[in-house]
Structure 1
Amino acid sequence: MRVSGASETGHETYFSHVKAGQSFGESAIVLNTPLLASLAALTTGVVGVISRARTRELFLDPSVADALLAILSAKLHRAVHGQSTLSPPGAYSRVYAVINAVLTENTDIAQALIELPNQTAIAIAANVSRETVSRAMKSLMQRGAVVKE
């Protein structure tokens, strides 16, 4: 699922992806604020929803609080790293940085193939057009760095 929000100009701003087993919205519950982002399903899946009241009850359990701290710390780390993705001046460099971030998140050595986000999601994350992502991916495929199935 893609997590994004709208900028002041109305353009979609990519924040991250939520994968199977991950959570979304816990910081809004902790801070007692509205969600500042929305989720969009990129594939078919099952989503669980827990009410704010029930979630607050769960947060009182020390083991849940420890897990929450770990989740929020990891999200902060990814957010800081994500900002550095937008730092390279070249469009292709930003696309490659987004792809590299996906590869870095998937550290399971046993996994031979890693499914990348679709080109639109990469474009939003890199702040480039989908066509630029397509050209960058073609360049990576020509060099043998990426294989399309």
Structure 2
Amino acid sequence: MSTAAGTSATIPRELLRRLPILGLLSDELLTQVMSASRLVRFRKKATVILKGQSLDHLSLLVAGKLQVIDHLTDGREIGLNIIQAGNFFGELAVVDRQPRSATLIALTPAMVINVPGEVARKLFFEYPPVAKTMMAHFARVIRRGNDQRSLLSLPNSFQRVFALLDYIKQKGPENTLLIDDMPTHQEVAIMANTSRETVTRALSMLTASGIIEKQVRQLLIRKPVALKRLADGEMLLNPTQKIGAEPPP
């Protein structure tokens, strides 16, 4: 892990403008924020944040992918979320100044901008465009937490995998549905609280039935209605079962 003294000279301004919060700032304010911030690089599998740490900064993920993990009372590891490049984290600790509530691990080499908490709080509380953005963000966090709890409450491990895939799918070009930069089987297993072998079998069943199509680091959802029904427990899937074509969206 290495730390640079500043960010403005290291990251092009047009890239900074594409990051959340920073894109809302005036040129002058952006320069002030960047002069106070630090750029940190992490190796793959490095611990970015450790649960319980007292760290007072807002972090923006410039490049790479991080996994948010916690541990159950029996010691098992569970994945809470995956943070993709272009997102931020640490905002709760900045607002309430409490220790970090989860551990973050770098799934790939990562590059992070750390904005001091004092600077971030000034933006949160005194700059209306950022305040509005943060209110919407916290609403999404609450909703995502509710969704995660609902997913983990499902009794069947296969259904949890199906529900997770249905939850993280996104719209692609030409009305397609896909999961871009598909998590590894182990990452999906952690998030669904199951085994890697179960995830592998579930994906194989979905592929054999024509519901999904695997490509390089991408999963195309060919039959989203069928995936949704599996996620809701309205349909069971046999390993060799073929699902008929669905009407176009």
Q: Same fold (TM over 0.5)?
A: yes
Question: Aligned partners of 1:133 and 1:26: how far apart in 2?
Answer: 32
Aligned residue in 2 for 1:35? 100
1:107 and 2:181 correspond: no
**Helix, strand or coil: the match of 2:78?**
strand
Aligned residue in 2 for 1:50? 115
Aligned residue in 2 for 1:19? 84
Give the structure with the larger strand fraction. 2
| 1:1-149 equivalence runs, <5 A | 1-60=66-125, 61-103=127-169, 106-110=170-174, 112=176, 113-115=178-180, 116-149=182-215
Q: Shift of the alpha carbon at 1:139?
A: 0.5
Question: Aligned partners of 2:110 and 2:79: how far apart in 1?
Answer: 20
**Structure 1 unaligned spans of 5+:** none
Q: Shift of the alpha carbon at 1:88?
A: 2.0
**Helix, strand or coil: the match of 2:80?**
strand
Q: Shift of the alpha carbon at 1:54?
A: 1.6
Question: Aligned partners of 1:58 and 1:110: how far apart in 2?
Answer: 38
Q: Out of 44-53 and 76-85, give the one that drifted further.
A: 44-53
Report % sequence identity: 33
* Structure of higher RCO (CA pairs closer than 8 Å, 6+ residues apart): 1
Taking structure 1 as reference, are residues 111 and 4 closer, same or farther at Cα in structure 2, changes over 3 Å only? Answer: farther
**Structure 2 unaligned spans of 5+:** 1-65, 216-249
Amino acid at match of 2:81: S
Question: Aligned partners of 1:142 and 1:99: how far apart in 2?
Answer: 16
Q: Show CA shifts across 1:64-113 (max 9, x none).
A: 1111111111111111111111222111001101111111xx23454754
**Helix, strand or coil: the match of 2:99?**
coil
**Helix, strand or coil: the match of 1:27?**
helix
Query: If the length of structure 2 is used for normalisation, what is the TM-score?
Result: 0.55
CA RMSD across the alignment: 1.8
Q: Which of structure 1's runs of 4+ aligned residues deviate more than 4 A? A: 108-113
Query: If the length of structure 1 is used for normalisation, what is the TM-score?
Result: 0.88
Taking structure 1 as reference, are residues 108 and 66 closer, same or farther at Cα in structure 2, changes over 3 Å only? Answer: farther
Question: Aligned partners of 1:90 and 1:9: how far apart in 2?
Answer: 19
Amino acid at match of 2:171: T
Q: Shift of the alpha carbon at 1:20?
A: 2.0
Please say which structure displays the higher CA radius of gyration.
Answer: 2
Question: Aligned partners of 2:212 and 2:138: how far apart in 1?
Answer: 32
